[in-house]
Structure 1
Amino acid sequence: MRRRPFPLITLLIVLAIFGLTYRLWNDPIRLLKQAMIIVLIVAVFYAIYKWIQRQRFDHSYQKAVKQSKKLHHQKTKPTSKKQPRPTALKKKHATHLTVIEGKKGKKKNRASF
């Protein structure tokens, strides 16, 4: 089921369309200038937003690289020069499983329940 839009929103849309057509009919150059100014302002804000995003990403990336290098260098340091002796592998004994024969062939007497 589709809902009807709120009457105030419908009124605003109708007035915006009316104002746009009026401006286009009477002064199209001014309308074009306003549209270009709006596009320019949106582009500037978008560029600033992307620049901030990139700065955050670069900072977190550099932090991750430092952390990774720190971990990598820590693992490569030799702790002792002794080679550990290989331990003999113990044989695992198989568990002895038994098969329990059930009453597969017999039918249940449901009347006895």
Structure 2
Amino acid sequence: MKNRISFYVVSGLIILAILGLGVKLVNNPTGLFQSIAVIAIVVAVIYFIVQRVNRANPGKREHRAFAQAAKKSKKRFKNKEQGSAIQRKAKTGTLTSIKKSKRKSSTTHLTVIEGKKGKKKNRASL
């Protein structure tokens, strides 16, 4: 019910505005064009002021960069999930072959540090 009332109100205002513009165009066309020009200039000045204030806020730029990085991360994660699902469907084998393939995958963020792993330290002697 509220939507109907607001629709009628907005429609009535638009019709009255068009009617007013038509009457003003017939009676005083130069005054109409001057009014339109003044309104356009005021809107442009307000727009440029708002843009200047928004650009000066560094927190907004950081938030925008964070949102863009999060979107890229989600996209990359989604691609990995889709790829692994396709691989799972394509591979059909025994349980042991599936276990071996899981063990073969390694994490890329871990590295092996070469060194003497077999030799134990003698902690008793100082």
TM-score by length of 2: 0.42
TM-score by length of 1: 0.47
Considering fraction of residues, name the structure with more helix: 2
Which structure has the larger Rg over C-alpha atoms?
1
